[in-house]
Amino acid sequence: MRFSLTGLFLFAPVLAQAQSSSPPLTIEEAVSQAVKNNPRLSAAARDVAAAKFGVGSAKALANPQVTFTPGITSLSGTGEELLISQPLELNGTRAARTGIANAKLRQVHALAVVELRGLVFETKAAYYGLARAQERMSLARELLAFAEDFDRRATLQVEAGARPGIELTQTGIEVARARQQAAQAEGDVATSTATLNTLLGRNPGTPLGVPSLPSFIAKALNRDELLRQALAARAEITVEESEAEAFRQEARLARAEGLPDFAPQIRVGSLIRGVPEASSGNGYGIGIAINLPLFDHGSRRNRIRQSEESARAQADRITAARNEVRREVDQAIARYRAAEAVLNAYQQGVLDQARRLLDASRIGFQEGKTSIIALLEAQRTYRAVQTEYANAHADYALALAELERATGSISSSLLPDPRRKQ
């Protein structure tokens, strides 16, 4: 691990330079590539395709039963040599079996939508995380350039006798700290790039274009409307509802298996010795078998009770899922409002004030009117304000993405079609 991290930090400046020359990567392009290339989502889409085949299988009529009992001797003791029977499943078993398959299809599709929305949120979080890291890297490089310039000017003033030599120690410490912060920022960019590339299905070290954070636009949120949207759209609720429906259909299937069913039959008395006349005792004929499940030692009855109780348990899980969705929506709204307020406060003049303070201190230092302590304090204030602003801007973007995920705004139509990759 130590070796890999060292290599990562050594590679960080090269990666940062390659990213700066790459074309910009928009958030829409990042999401599109993740949906197209991420193997987790591809697997979920194939699960949906498999469940559709399961529905087709469940809808099909039960396979015919063929019994072949050839006579070994002339007195074989069997009444027929060939019996073909086709169950009609008029008692409702096929309908119940289809109901189970449809419920499972709905559940698997809902799970795929959960995977889709989770992937989109992860991709946006990684994208905005990279944008945050790159803004902090740019700030660190800018401050390193400032510190090196201050150190050079301090050296000239000390040599001219305008300032005491101790100030060179202070500027030297500041340059060393600025270099450390720049190196750490470059490492953060490298790790954030690897995270985003992995979600995009690319090599972790592939250079990416510089991402951008969304523009700040204040928006009013209607909590009741967002809750209604989330409760109607969140696939996590559909997963639990589909499981409950599957249990109900299983109980229906067990009941249907206790009802009579009919099966047309074709009987042939002898194939080896040739097909005799229909009028002979061992000839061929057509009949109808009636399946009468009169006896139940408790197996079917307990299966019904088990499925019904499981369905009642799912009702509680549905309620829990709805409560969880409500909690997530409320939290997303709270985070968005907080991020919006913080970002708005920074855009009310704090950034410009910090910049003016730094510029004034820098000019004063050059003219010998400002102490090194005041200059360093102004630089640290500028760094803190700019870093906090970058964090606030990224938090605002993440809050938007979280609100989108919490309300189920990502359309399920983004699910890839696995047939296109075959």
pLDDT digits (tens, 9 = 90+) for 392-417: 999 999 999 999 999 999 998 888 87
Average pLDDT over residues 319-336: 97
Scan for tokens 């995380």, then name that residue: 129
- In this prediction, residue 10 carries a pLDDT of 40
DSSP state of 284: E
CA distance 107 to 335: 31
pLDDT digits (tens, 9 = 90+) for 104-151: 999 999 999 999 999 999 999 999 999 999 999 999 998 899 888 888
pLDDT score of 280 more than 70: no
Contact 86, 133 (CB under 8 A): no
- In this prediction, residue 132 carries a pLDDT of 93
Rounded to the nearest 10 degrees, what angle do helices 299-345 and 223-233 cross at? 140
Q: What is the dihedral of CA 25, 26, 28, 34, to 10 degrees?
A: 30
DSSP state of 150: H
pLDDT score of 363 more than 90: no
Average pLDDT, the chain: 85
Q: Domain residues for 30? A: 2-421
pLDDT score of 344 more than 70: yes
pLDDT score of 66 more than 90: no
Tokens of 349: 């003049």
pLDDT digits (tens, 9 = 90+) for 220-254: 899 999 999 999 999 999 999 999 999 999 999 99
- In this prediction, residue 12 carries a pLDDT of 47
Between residues 161 and 198, which one has the greater pLDDT? 198
Strands (DSSP E) found in 70-115:
82-85
DSSP state of 286: E
Average pLDDT over residues 349-377: 83
pTM (two decimals): 0.81
CA distance 38 to 155: 54
- What backbone phi and psi angles, to 5 degrees, belong to 291? -90, 120
pLDDT score of 182 more than 90: yes
CB 320: neighbour CB atoms within 10 A?
12
- In this prediction, residue 189 carries a pLDDT of 94
Task: Say which range, 6-15, 96-105, 373-382, has the weakest mean pLDDT.
Answer: 6-15
Percent of the chain with pLDDT over 70: 88
- Give the total number of structural domains in the chain: 1
CATH number at residue 27: 1.20.1600.10
- In this prediction, residue 349 carries a pLDDT of 81
Task: Say which range, 168-172, 258-262, 392-396, has the weakest mean pLDDT.
Answer: 168-172
CA distance 48 to 41: 11
Residues 6+ apart with CB under 8 A from 221: 333, 336, 337, 403
Tokens of 150: 């201050």
- In this prediction, residue 78 carries a pLDDT of 52
Element (H or E) spanning 116, and its range? helix 93-159
Per-position b or e across 174-188, b if 16+ CB within 10 A of its CB: bbeebeebbbebbbb
Q: Which amino acid is at 258?
A: G
CA distance 191 to 130: 9
DSSP 318-354: HHHHHHHHHHHHHHHHHHHHHHHHHHHHIIIIIHHHH
Pairing of strands 261-268, 82-85: antiparallel
- In this prediction, residue 19 carries a pLDDT of 55
Identify which of 216, 192, 195, 186 has the alpha carbon closest to the alpha carbon of residue 351: 216
221 half-sphere exposure, CB direction, 13 A CA radius: 23
Q: How far from 290 is each of 82, 92, 93, 172, 401, CA to CA, in Å?
A: 18, 15, 15, 98, 61
Q: Identify which of 146-150, 177-181, 288-292 has the greatest average pLDDT.
A: 177-181
- In this prediction, residue 172 carries a pLDDT of 87
Contact 351, 139 (CB under 8 A): no
CB 86: neighbour CB atoms within 10 A?
17
For the chain, count helices (H), then strands (E).
10, 4
Q: How far from 232 is each of 69, 121, 409, CA to CA, in Å?
A: 58, 19, 11
Average pLDDT over residues 294-300: 85
pLDDT digits (tens, 9 = 90+) for 3-36: 343 343 344 454 455 555 567 889 999 999 999 9
Helix %, strand %, coil % for the chain, to 5?
70, 5, 25
Strands (DSSP E) found in 38-162:
65-68, 82-85
Task: Say which range, 129-138, 366-375, 377-386, has the weakest mean pLDDT.
Answer: 366-375
Q: Rounded to the nearest 5 degrees, what angle is found at the Cα of 318, between the Cα atoms of 315 and 324? A: 145
Contact 120, 35 (CB under 8 A): yes
CA distance 128 to 118: 15
- In this prediction, residue 15 carries a pLDDT of 47
Label residue 273 by pLDDT band (50, 70, 90): low
CA pseudo-torsion sign 254, 260, 264, 270: positive
